[in-house]
Structure 1
Amino acid sequence: MNSTTQKLSFTVNLSFEAHSIAQELVSKISNQKKRQQIYLNSLAVFAVNHYLLCMGFETDYLEGDSRNPVAVQLMNVADLIVKDIGKLECIPILAETEVVEIPPEVWEDRVGYIFVELNDSLKEANILGFIPKARDKVFLSKLNSLEDFLVYLTELEVVESVQAETTSHVISFRQWWDGVIDTSWQKVEQLLNPQQLGLAYRSNMSLITRGQKIDLGMHLDQISVALVMKVMSESDSEEVDILTQVYPVGEMALPEGIKLIIGDETGEGSEVVSREDDNWIQSEFSAESGERFSITVAYGDSEVKKEFEV
């Protein structure tokens, strides 16, 4: 282990409580290899939970799959839910380990992966560092520091708080038609370059066209996209046609896996997912006066949800 990682580690004593929890999870498992996997995973989660509480973060220690006796038998899982942030995966490692492979079943639905070195006696755990996204092989000498980890979590916490406030605000198309439009909704020419506009705006603009920049992910892997709304209505109709699109900001193609999700008041909806080299994605639908719907743009564990009313 290099000196940088050692300097940034945080030591947790693995108490009788830590081992009691692990022992309870493996008590009905006969396969020795599976017992060891679950036991070490449990100790790693316990250590990270203690560390985060010391650092001032709240957790849902009891709610993760890592505390579910059935889930741990079916999967190699060591998740810890951090309140208002998301799931961390706690990766246990033994002394002298240099390279780690992350289990494929935990590559999704995680805000980060934190690595925990357990000593030979399993009485101490050292929190070493983290990575924000899973990859095939992780070299422990290349981990991001715990200092970066705390900054990363703090930024995610701020983003979740801002998004919660945004979600509670319903955007009214009636106000848009009256000329009252929040300044965060810009004209698309201000958000997208001429080449992008040419892809889908060759014809005349609709009655109202506005866009808003959305940041998905923070600190180490920030993705910026533009959510564009085209609202079309005929004077003698109660029905409104809505075209919603997602474009990359600063790039010509979207990352693969960007989701555009439309939801109605009943909870039903539709989803479009970007493929490799997609220049934009879109969904077109109609809504009646007074109807509410939501639009969610998501990428990995990050998502932004907007509520609208016709």
Structure 2
Amino acid sequence: MNHPLIFTVPLSYEAHENAERCVESIKNPDKLKQVYLNSLAVYSVNYYLQLMGLETEIEKSYSQDPIAVQLSNIADLSLKNIGKVECCPVLPDENKFNITADVSENRLAYIAVQFTESLKQGTILGYVENPLATVEINQLQTLEDLLLYLSTLEIEAKSESKLGKWLEGIVEEGWQRVEELFTPQQLGLAFMNEVSVIRGQELDLGIQLNQVSVALVTKVTQLTNTEEKEMSEADILMQVRPISVLNLPSELMLQIKDSSGEIVLETSSREGDNWIQLAFSAEYGESFQVLVSYEDAVIT
């Protein structure tokens, strides 16, 4: 590792009591040891990530299911909205650990936890994202990198909107009805001529906008595949509009990026513009990013 930052977790009575519950119906000594250490590893990572401000959902992890742990070598920990990490126990003085086929996919990260002989402490050493079957300790990425990586995923998940769900009546928190943001005179009739779902969200671009508030208004219109009689695409209209004033500032930019991060559409405001907009179609399940920027401020 480039930086030897580690974090040691005290393995309390609670940690061992939980491990005892996980193994109480296991008779095979090797399996019992495996499940016990896995439970302590999950406890350690959960303790650390919660302390660092990340939202975990240990109750949704397979590692808490008595049947699942008997069938597989599994030590997963669910993180709210973003996925699972695998908590990998490392015995004292070992310099490597193995990733089993049971957990070699569908994990955000594989986090190594090394125990003392007494099992009174678990030290979190680092992580890997895409491991080989055997991982050397000196190949681990740092805890600083782990926190940055998981925090970025958490922020992205919180800001992500599933527009296809809007047509089913499921709209994420933070989006308002446009009537709550604008007067009818501001909106006009541009949004009222189709069966659509329309929501708006006020954006904070800071002092760069000189106290002018703006909102991102999104309209999602269902398109139906006439042959299969099912929803296959949606028309999407993205607008940026000023709130409480008539005109946008000049050179405010609206961009659309595809899933690879490439800009595929963009527009910017000119002096006197009441709004700027981009219209496009997307298939259900397709991902894209919307960026609104002004000078040095960018909201994605």
1:13 paired with 2:10, answer yes
Cα distance, 1:179–1:32 mapped onto 2, change above 3 Å: closer
Answer yes or no: is the 8 Å Cα contact 1:80–1:90 preserved in 2: yes
Distance in 1 of aligned mates of 2:102 and 2:263 = 31
1:126 paired with 2:126, answer no
Question: How many residues align structurally?
Answer: 199
Of 12, 23, 27, 1:26 maps to 23
Cα distance, 1:108–1:296 mapped onto 2, change above 3 Å: farther
Cα distance, 1:124–1:225 mapped onto 2, change above 3 Å: same
1:214 paired with 2:211, answer no
Distance in 2 of aligned mates of 1:179 and 1:92 = 47
Secondary structure of 2:88 counterpart? strand
Any gaps of 5 or more consecutive residues in structure 1? 186-211, 216-223, 229-242, 245-261, 263-293, 298-303
Q: Which has the higher contact order (CA 8 A, sep 6+)?
A: 1
Task: Tell me the residue number matched to 1:269.
Answer: none
Distance in 2 of aligned mates of 1:38 and 1:173 = 49
Of 167, 172, 176, 2:221 maps to 172
Answer yes or no: is the 8 Å Cα contact 1:66–1:80 preserved in 2: yes
Amino acid at match of 1:295: G
Cα distance, 1:181–1:59 mapped onto 2, change above 3 Å: closer
> TM-score normalized by structure 1?
0.57
Secondary structure of 2:16 counterpart? helix
Cα distance, 1:11–1:179 mapped onto 2, change above 3 Å: closer
CA RMSD of aligned residues (A): 3.2
1:295 paired with 2:262, answer no
Of 100, 103, 106, 1:103 maps to 100
Amino acid at match of 2:258: K
Task: Tell me the residue number matched to 2:157.
Answer: 160
Secondary structure of 1:62 counterpart? helix
Amino acid at match of 2:221: S
C-alpha distance after superposition, 1:256-281 (max 9, x if no partner): xxxxxx6xxxxxxxxxxxxxxxxxxx
- The higher radius of gyration belongs to 2
Distance in 1 of aligned mates of 2:92 and 2:219 = 53
Distance in 2 of aligned mates of 1:66 and 1:179 = 41
Amino acid at match of 2:141: N
1:146 paired with 2:191, answer no
Cα distance, 1:113–1:171 mapped onto 2, change above 3 Å: same
List 4+ stretches of structure 1 deviating above 4 A.
165-170, 178-183, 224-228
State the percentage of identical aligned residues.
Answer: 36
Task: Tell me the residue number matched to 1:49.
Answer: 46
Cα distance, 1:11–1:99 mapped onto 2, change above 3 Å: same
Deviation at 1:171, TM superposition (A): 3.4
Cα distance, 1:111–1:170 mapped onto 2, change above 3 Å: farther
C-alpha distance after superposition, 1:164-196 (max 9, x if no partner): 37665553389xxx99666545xxxxxxxxxxx
C-alpha distance after superposition, 1:35-77 (max 9, x if no partner): 0000000000001111011101111112100000000000100
Secondary structure of 2:285 counterpart? strand
Cα distance, 1:170–1:119 mapped onto 2, change above 3 Å: farther
Secondary structure of 1:59 counterpart? coil
Answer yes or no: is the 8 Å Cα contact 2:220–2:237 preserved in 1: no
C-alpha distance after superposition, 1:218-247 (max 9, x if no partner): xxxxxx57999xxxxxxxxxxxxxx97xxx
Task: Tell me the residue number matched to 1:135.
Answer: 132
Deviation at 1:136, TM superposition (A): 2.0
> TM-score normalized by structure 2?
0.59
